[in-house]
Amino acid sequence: MEILVFGAQADEKPLIEQAFQGHDEVRCLDVFLNEDTAPIAAGHEIVSTSVNADLGAGVLEILAAGGTRMVAQRSTGFNNIDLDAAERLGLTVARVSYYSPHSVAEFTWTLAMAVNRRIVRAATRTRDFDFRLHGLMGRDMHGRTAGVIGTGKIGEAFARIAHGFGMRLLGWDVAENPACMELGMSYVPREELLARSDLITLHVPLMPETRHLIDATALKSMRDDAILVNTSRGGLIDTTALVGELRAGRFSGVGLDVYEAEAGLFYLDKSLEVIVDDTLARLVTFPNVLVTSHQAYYTEDAVGQIVDATARNVLDYREGRRSENVLVPRS
């Protein structure tokens, strides 16, 4: 059986081929799944998709009509999948419920320190042999307060690094994590966390109740010199409201690895095109903002775990097993 893999990155392809070796053939495509590309899957019982795939009802209907019976998503998040439509169409859907939390936590810190210490500006200057220090002053993280919104595995890994920096820890989540509390984390209301934190990081899933969790009101409650980092999902932040606050000169730094309208942009080369997304175009012009292309998870360790789990999901489907990764079971 040939598995059709959409949105396979060049670095990811050999790991995918290795994971399926011995029990399935795979064909890797660099195009992302959407209504235009879905017909390519005709005749393939199993397709694998990336986090930026369009798996709305329309796409799922095309897949089902072409003979697809399973969708294996290579990510933890699944807010891009219409699960009700999948169930109605008899499609089995699986995701990867776990991979290295350190990949995302470490990258979160990379963004935080890059904006804090003005690394991009400094590197650009030195490339032009401009070695002035003006405008490059950052702050010690030691002794300051980190606010962690979402204290699951990734939030905990971030908190451990913050603890190593000697920071005070505030947390907000629907459930308290004992491991974070052992690090000295105090759980407080979200409003208090936003008001008190020097560094705020987001590690919650995107759901209807968390969409624009950081809205205009939340942004205004933050300190003027706060650092905000998002490596979770773009829809957690009201980006239009964020741009408004940045235009007012607020925030020491903002690091975004995700963007709420990233589908159709991230993972693609748009360097020769006109970007019509005015919000994103404005966002990247701020000197205190660093935007990266949803790469926090992108380490050999994490991607290897993701593709191995995806291969197991496919094997489980074929052999009639059900694991914790299954979102819509086989009918």
Q: Which residues are part of the catalytic machinery?
A: 233, 262, 294
DSSP letter at 236?
Answer: G
Instruction: Tell me the C-alpha distance between 171 and 159, whole Å.
Output: 9
Q: Which two tokens stand for residue 89?
A: 């169409």
Instruction: Tell me the C-alpha distance between 83 and 73, whole Å.
Output: 12
Instruction: Label residues 157-179 b or e (16+ Cβ within 10 Å = b).
Output: bbbebbbebebbbbbbbeeebee
Candidates 62, 58, 30, 32; CA nearest to 44 is 62
| DSSP E strand stretches across the chain | 2-5, 25-28, 46-49, 70-73, 92-94, 145-149, 168-172, 186-187, 199-202, 227-230, 253-256, 289-291, 326-328
Instruction: Tell me the C-alpha distance between 313 and 323, whole Å.
Output: 8
**3-state DSSP of 120-183:** HHHHHHHHCCCCCCCCCCCCCCCCCEEEEECCCHHHHHHHHHHHHHCCEEEEECCCCCHHHHHC
DSSP letter at 214?
Answer: B
Give bridge partners of residue 70 from the DSSP assignment: 46, 92
Are the C-beta atoms of residues 49 and 33 closer than 8 Å to each other? yes
Instruction: Tell me the C-alpha distance between 133 and 226, whole Å.
Output: 21
DSSP, collapsed to helix, strand or coil, labels residue 238 as coil
Q: How far is CA 121 from the centre of its chain?
A: 25
